[in-house]
C-alpha cells in the first residue's frame, strides 16, 4: 500500500538469459521421438502384473515394506530369474554381508552366475560397481544405508538418503540400468524418514502382509508407466516367495461351516476380487468399557457399526467384549465390508449362523441403510465362480449369473433374511467325558 514502509519494490528490466551450449532446446511435443524402452520382464508374473510388463530401462523403482516382510527375498529372486533369462544383474548389498546374501541365495536356489554382488554402502563405490558390471538391472538394498561423503549430513539422515537417491535417479535417466531401491517402512506405513523419495522415483511399490501369515501383497502406490490398480500375491515359503495365481483357496480353505459370527466378503484389492472371511466373536463382560479388538480391520469403523447395530437394529453389544478379525492376514479398509461385518457381529451375538454359501457386500449408512459399492459385478462374479450361491447386497445391485442376489435395503432386513436358526452355545467336550 502506498504511503507505508517497505511497499515500494524496484523493478529492473532484466535481459533474457542467453541459451548456453548445454541448455535443453524446446521441441514440439509431437516431434519428440517415441520412447523406445520396452519394459524388461522380471520373469516373476505377479511382479510383472503389478508393473504392467516389467522394469522399464532407465527407470527407478522404490520397493517399500516393513522389516522382515521379504523385500530382500523378493528382489534376490527377481535378479536370479532375470539373470537366468540372460540379463546382467547387480545386487548392491548395503545392509547384509555378502556371506549372508549367499546363504539366502542358496536357500532360494538363486546362486546364478549372471547375478553380481557388491557389499557396498558408499555411493562412489556403488557407481563404480555399476560402471564395471554394466548391468541391465541394479537392486540397492537398502537406500537408507547408502551414504555419500560429499553430502554434509550423517549416514541414514534424510539429507543423505535424498541426495544419494537423486544421484542414482540421474544415473538411471542418463541411459543407465533399471534401478530398484529398497526402502524400509515404519509401522504407520510411511517410508522411514524420506517420503521425498516417492516424488523422485518413477514407481513406488509397497510390499505388505502380516509377518505371522504367509500371504504377501504387492501393489503399486505410484507408477509413471501404467495404472496402479493391479495387485500381486505371493506366499512366503521356506524356498522363497511363490506367486499365487488363484488366491481363493488361501483364504477360505480352513473355513468351518455353520459357525455363528462368520461371513464371507468379496473384497477388491486393486482390480482383483479376493474373497475373505470376516469373523466376529462377542463375549459377555462386566467391565465398564468392554474391550473392542480388531485384526485386519479399522477400529473406528467397528465403533461406528456397533452404534448403528445398537440404534437401528436394537442389537446392543455394550456389555460384551467384541473381536473382529479378517482371516488370512488381509487388511480391509473398504467400506463395502460394512454389511458383512455387521452380519458377523449380529450372528455372533445371537448364535444364529449365516449360510455358508452366502456372501455379503454393501456399505452401511448411519441410518442403517445398505448402500451400493464399487465393482459389485466383479465381486459377484468371483463369488459365483467359487461356488457361492447367494449374495446379500443393496437393492441397486445388478443381477449376476450363477448367484442369486437378495436385495436388502436396510441392515435390519439383511439380518432378518440371513440369520439362520439359533445354535446352542458350544461347550468344550473334555476328553473322557461321556456323550457327544
Ligand X SMILES: Nc1ncnc2c1ncn2[C@@H]1O[C@H](COP(=O)(O)OP(=O)(O)OP(=O)(O)O)[C@@H](O)[C@H]1O
Minimum distance of ligand X from residue 72's CB (angstroms)? 3
> Residue 144 or residue 279: which is nearer to Mg ion going by CB?
144
Minimum distance of ligand X from residue 129's CB (angstroms)? 20
Span interacting with ligand X, options 66-74, 128-136, 296-304, 354-362, rule CB under 6 A:
66-74
Residue 72 touches ligand X, criterion: CB under 6 A = yes
- What is the H or E stretch that residue 404 is in? strand 404-407
Residue 376 touches ligand X, criterion: CB under 6 A = no
Q: Which of 59, 73, 400, 418 binds ligand X (CB under 6 A)?
A: 73
Q: For residue 189, give Cα distances in angstroms to 67, 207, 270, 302, 431.
A: 11, 10, 18, 21, 46
Minimum distance of ligand X from residue 7's CB (angstroms)? 56
Residue 71 touches ligand X, criterion: CB under 6 A = yes
Angle subtended at Cα 119 by Cα 172 and Cα 99, rounded to the nearest 5 degrees: 135
> Residue 66 or residue 413: which is nearer to ligand X going by CB?
66
Residue 282 touches ligand X, criterion: CB under 6 A = no
Minimum distance of ligand X from residue 64's CB (angstroms)? 10
Residue nearest to Mg ion (CB): 72
Minimum distance of ligand X from residue 253's CB (angstroms)? 20
Residue 139 touches ligand X, criterion: CB under 6 A = no
Angle subtended at Cα 245 by Cα 243 and Cα 249, rounded to the nearest 5 degrees: 105
**Tally of CA atoms within 13 A in the half-sphere of 297 that contains its CB:** 32
Question: Hey, which residues does 295 pair with through a beta bridge?
Answer: 325
What is the residue-wise DSSP string for 111-145? Answer: --TTEEEE---BHHHHHHHHHHH--SEEEEE-GGG
Residues in 30-89 that interact with Mg ion by CB under 5 A: 72
**Residue 106: Cβ within 10 Å count:** 10
Span interacting with ligand X, options 63-71, 187-195, 264-272, 357-365, rule CB under 6 A:
63-71
* Residue 364 in grid coordinates: 452401511
* Residue 56 in grid coordinates: 522399464
> Residue 59 or residue 72: which is nearer to Mg ion going by CB?
72
Residue 320 touches ligand X, criterion: CB under 6 A = no
Residues in 186-215 that interact with ligand X by CB under 6 A: 211
Q: For residue 254, give Cα distances in angstroms to 10, 23, 211, 248, 347.
A: 77, 64, 19, 11, 19
Q: What does the chain come to in residues?
A: 436
Q: Which of 69, 233, 332, 360 binds ligand X (CB under 6 A)?
A: 69
Q: Which of 15, 17, 36, 68 binds ligand X (CB under 6 A)?
A: 68
Compute the distance between CA of residue 212 and CA of residue 279 in angstroms, rounded to an integer: 18
Question: Hey, which residues does 393 pair with through a beta bridge?
Answer: 407
Minimum distance of ligand X from residue 247's CB (angstroms)? 19
Minimum distance of ligand X from residue 432's CB (angstroms)? 39
Compute the distance between CA of residue 18 and CA of residue 33 in angstroms, rounded to an integer: 26
15: left (phi over 0), alpha (psi -120 to 50) or beta: beta
* Residue 345 in grid coordinates: 457381529
Residues that bind Mg ion (CB under 5 A): 72
Residues that bind ligand X (CB under 6 A): 65, 67-73, 107, 184, 211, 236, 238
Amino acid at each position: 500500500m502506498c504511503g507505508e514502509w517497505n511497499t515500494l519494490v524496484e523493478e529492473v528490466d532484466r535481459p533474457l538469459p542467453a541459451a548456453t551450449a548445454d541448455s535443453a532446446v524446446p521441441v514440439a511435443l509431437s516431434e519428440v521421438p517415441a520412447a523406445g524402452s520396452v519394459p524388461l520382464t522380471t520373469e516373476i508374473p505377479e511382479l510383472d502384473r503389478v508393473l504392467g510388463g516389467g522394469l522399464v530401462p532407465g527407470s527407478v523403482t522404490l520397493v517399500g515394506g516393513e522389516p522382515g516382510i521379504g523385500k530382500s527375498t523378493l528382489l534376490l529372486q527377481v535378479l536370479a530369474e532375470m539373470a537366468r533369462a540372460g540379463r546382467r544383474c547387480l545386487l548392491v548389498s548395503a545392509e547384509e554381508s555378502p556371506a549372508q546374501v549367499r546363504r539366502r541365495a542358496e536357500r532360494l536356489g538363486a546362486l546364478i552366475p549372471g547375478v553380481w554382488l557388491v557389499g557396498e554402502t558408499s555411493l562412489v563405490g556403488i557407481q563404480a560397481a555399476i560402471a564395471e558390471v554394466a548391468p541391465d538391472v541394479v537392486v540397492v538394498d537398502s537406500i537408507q544405508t547408502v551414504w555419500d561423503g560429499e553430502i554434509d549430513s550423517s549416514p541414514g539422515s534424510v539429507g543423505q538418503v535424498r541426495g544419494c537417491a537423486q544421484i542414482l535417479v540421474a544415473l538411471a535417466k542418463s541411459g543407465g540400468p533399471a534401478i530398484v531401491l529398497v526402502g524400509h517402512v515404519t509401522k504407520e506405513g510411511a517410508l522411514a524418514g524420506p517420503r521425498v523419495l516417492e516424488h523422485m522415483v518413477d514407481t513406488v511399490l509397497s510390499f505388505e502382509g502380516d509377518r505371522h501369515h504367509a500371504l504377501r501383497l504387492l501393489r503399486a502406490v505410484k507408477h509413471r508407466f501404467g495404472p496402479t490398480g493391479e495387485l500381486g500375491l505371493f506366499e512366503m515359503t521356506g524356498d522363497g516367495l511363490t506367486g499365487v495365481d488363484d488366491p481363493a483357496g488361501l483364504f477360505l480353505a480352513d473355513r468351518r461351516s455353520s459357525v455363528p459370527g462368520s461371513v464371507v466378503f468379496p473384497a477388491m484389492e486393486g482390480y482383483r476380487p479376493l474373497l475373505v472371511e470376516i469373523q466376529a466373536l462377542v463375549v459377555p463382560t462386566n467391565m465398564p468399557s468392554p474391550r473392542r479388538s480388531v485384526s485386519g480391520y479399522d477400529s473406528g469403523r467397528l465403533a461406528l457399526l456397533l452404534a448403528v447395530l445398537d440404534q437401528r437394529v436394537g442389537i446392543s453389544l455394550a456389555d460384551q467384549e467384541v473381536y473382529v478379525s479378517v482371516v488370512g492376514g488381509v487388511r480391509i479398509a473398504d467400506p463395502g465390508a460394512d454389511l458383512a461385518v455387521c452380519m458377523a457381529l449380529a450372528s455372533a451375538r445371537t448364535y444364529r449362523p449365516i449360510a455358508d454359501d452366502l456372501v455379503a457386500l454393501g456399505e452401511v449408512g448411519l441410518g442403517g441403510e445398505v448402500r451400493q459399492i464399487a465393482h459389485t459385478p466383479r465381486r459377484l462374479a468371483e463369488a459365483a465362480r467359487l461356488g457361492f450361491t447367494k449374495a446379500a447386497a443393496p437393492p441397486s445391485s445388478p443381477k449376476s449369473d450363477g448367484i442369486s442376489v437378495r436385495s436388502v435395503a436396510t441392515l435390519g432386513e439383511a439380518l432378518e433374511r440371513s440369520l439362520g436358526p439359533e445354535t446352542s452355545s458350544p461347550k468344550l467336550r473334555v476328553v473322557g467325558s461321556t456323550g457327544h
